[in-house]
């Protein structure tokens, strides 16, 4: 089944979860911003799931990296459904609800707080096990203004049905628990995913890889190349 663009008259017409008649475990992955870091995380994580035992479907809003995102996940045999905007509006919640109603999923995996909020509301009654991977912190700007306390209360109330909170760093998890201390006494579980790079995929590189890469990148005339990587996001680098 190919992802379909929804007609303006009915933004959900024709969209259903893939009908699965085997015994595979079905996982719905929801992304609001399917960009570089999340794309890499999904590639690193789900390539270790045996294809004969799991079917993974990603529901995501379109982004500038749409083609690269779809290409990377297709290589891992992961099906991508794009949640196209309807009349200029994000209707991810409605698409999540549709998938949960028809998809017979065993688990939901949200990428980031915004995606988790959409999922948690849609999952209020189905109560399918729901894991949230936090790729950032709860920034104060989201709870400013006279409505800030209400927003914080409602956000905490909705996320109360998340089964597992994953953080990609210990500092990030500590910050979240300070911001939402009430959730610590609930039934949810917490885990830290240690940062790192999956280097095994590079171990089998042939001796010819270096000249082939230089030719591919058209850097044959450059005598040397230095790469500097730095993270500017607070509470995200420490593990």
What range defines the domain where residue 45 resides?
25-217
Terminal CA-CA length for the chain? 40
Separation between Cα atoms, residue 216 and residue 168, nearest integer Å:
33
Domain assignment present for 236 = no
Q: Strand, coil or helix: what is 63?
A: coil
- Output the six-digit token pair for 179: 């911001």
Q: Is residue 139 part of a domain?
A: yes
Burial of 179 (0-12, 13-18, 19+ CB in 10 A): middle
Look at the chain and report how many structural domains it folds into.
1
In a domain? residue 77: yes
Residues 101/78, Cβ–Cβ less than 8 Å = no
Q: Which helix (H) or strand (E) holds 55?
A: strand 54-60
Query: Concatenated DSSP letters for 198-212?
Result: -THHHHT--TTHHHH
Q: What is the pLDDT of residue 212?
A: 76
Q: Which helix (H) or strand (E) holds 80?
A: strand 79-82
Within a domain: 174: yes
Between strands 79-82 and 54-60, the pairing is: parallel
Q: Which of 130, 122, 233, 138 is nearest to 180 (CA)?
A: 138
Within a domain: residue 239?
Answer: no
Q: Does 4 fall in a domain? A: no
For residue 81, list its beta bridge partners: 59
Output the CA angle 162-82-66, nearest 5 degrees: 105
- Beta-bridged to residue 130, according to DSSP, are 108
From residue 236, alpha-carbon distances to 89, 175, 185 in Å are 30, 10, 24
CATH code for the domain of 80: 3.40.50.2000
The answer to whether the Cα torsion of 173, 176, 178, 184 is positive or negative is: negative
Neighbours of 184 (CB within 10 A): 12
Residue 65 phi, psi (nearest 5): -95, 25
Domain assignment of residue 194, yes or no: yes
Tens digit of pLDDT at every position of the chain (239 positions): 444 444 444 445 445 555 455 689 999 999 998 887 888 889 888 988 999 999 999 999 998 889 999 998 998 899 999 999 998 888 999 999 999 999 899 999 999 999 999 999 999 999 999 999 999 888 888 899 999 999 999 999 999 999 999 998 889 999 999 999 999 888 999 999 876 666 776 666 677 777 777 777 777 666 666 776 655 555 554 44
In a domain, 14, yes or no: no
């Amino acid at each position: 089944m190919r992802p379909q663009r929804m007609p303006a008259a009915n933004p959900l017409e024709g969209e259903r979860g893939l009908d699965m008649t085997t015994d595979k475990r079905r996982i719905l992955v929801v992304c609001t911003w399917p960009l570089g870091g999340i794309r890499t995380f999904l590639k690193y994580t789900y390539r270790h799931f045996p294809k004969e035992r799991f079917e993974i479907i990603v529901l995501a809003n379109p982004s500038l990296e749409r083609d690269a995102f779809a290409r990377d996940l297709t290589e891992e045999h992961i099906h991508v459904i794009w949640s196209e905007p309807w009349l200029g509006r994000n209707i991810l919640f409605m698409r999540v609800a549709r998938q949960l109603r028809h998809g017979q999923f065993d688990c939901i995996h949200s990428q980031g707080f915004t995606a988790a909020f959409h999922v948690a509301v849609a999952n209020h009654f189905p109560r399918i096990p729901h894991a949230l991977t936090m790729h950032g912190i709860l920034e104060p700007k989201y709870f400013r203004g006279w409505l800030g306390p209400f927003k914080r209360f409602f956000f905490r109330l909705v996320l109360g049905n998340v089964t597992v909170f994953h953080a990609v760093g210990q500092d990030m998890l500590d910050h979240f628990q300070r911001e939402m201390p009430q959730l610590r006494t609930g039934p949810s579980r917490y885990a830290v995913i240690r940062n790192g790079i999956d280097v095994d995929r590079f171990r089998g590189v042939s001796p010819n890889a270096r000249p082939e890469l230089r030719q591919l990148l058209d850097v044959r005339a450059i005598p040397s190349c230095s790469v500097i990587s730095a993270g500017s996001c607070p509470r995200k680098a420490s593990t």
